[in-house]
């Protein structure tokens, strides 16, 4: 379901896909080839949420913030993630059930592990591997970065799945 909130109107790219079971409301921008899957909520009622191209918000995620939020290109946000941050850079992977709190900033080519808790105001440098609760930050390995880039590629598995869902009118 895609809804306006007062004068805040979602802008969904033609090639993007939003599940009919998702809820996208307010000042949301969803880039080319991106997707929002069933039961995800992207709620930009206080301020804006900009989601880049070929970025995928999987099932049961919640994105909401009191400050403008930017999520880059080729980001995969795993199932059940909660995001209240300022920014997530390009080519990131946010693992299932991770939580990223207010004012946090995630640098490009970073991996936030499943179940990680990124505390409010945390600045994660580019190319980081972040795990735990509260999260600890280490450098991502070249293999982790390679796998993340493959996952987020313009012709990667989610990009192909978005095309299949759109072709079937789902």
Which domains does the chain show, CATH number per domain? 2-167 (2.160.10.10)
Average pLDDT, the chain: 93
| Range 4-12 average pLDDT | 95
pLDDT at 153 over 70: no
Cβ-Cβ contacts under 8 Å for 107 (sequence gap 6 or more): 89, 123, 124, 125, 126, 127, 128
Q: Which residues pair with 23 in a beta bridge?
A: 41
pLDDT in tens, 122-142: 999 999 999 999 999 999 999
Q: What is the reported pTM?
A: 0.92
Rounded CA-CA distance 115/105 in Å is 17
Q: How far is CA 19 from CA 56, 60, 124, 143, 169, in A?
A: 12, 12, 31, 32, 10
């Amino acid at each position: 379901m895609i809804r306006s909130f007062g004068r805040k109107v979602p802008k969904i790219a033609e090639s993007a896909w939003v599940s009919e079971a998702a809820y996208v409301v307010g000042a949301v921008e969803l880039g080319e080839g991106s997707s929002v899957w069933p039961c995800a909520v992207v709620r930009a009622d206080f301020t804006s949420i900009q989601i880049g191209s070929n970025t995928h918000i999987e099932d049961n995620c919640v994105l909401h913030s009191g400050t403008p939020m930017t999520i880059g290109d080729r980001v995969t946000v795993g199932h059940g993630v909660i995001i209240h941050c300022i920014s997530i850079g390009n080519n990131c992977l946010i693992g299932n059930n991770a939580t990223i709190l207010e004012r946090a900033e995630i640098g490009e080519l970073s991996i936030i592990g499943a179940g990680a808790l990124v505390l409010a105001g945390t600045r994660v440098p580019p190319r980081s591997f972040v795990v735990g609760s509260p999260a600890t930050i280490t450098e991502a390995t070249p293999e982790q970065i390679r796998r993340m880039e493959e996952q987020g590629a313009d012709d990667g598995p989610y990009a192909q799945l978005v095309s299949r869902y759109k072709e079937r009118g789902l």
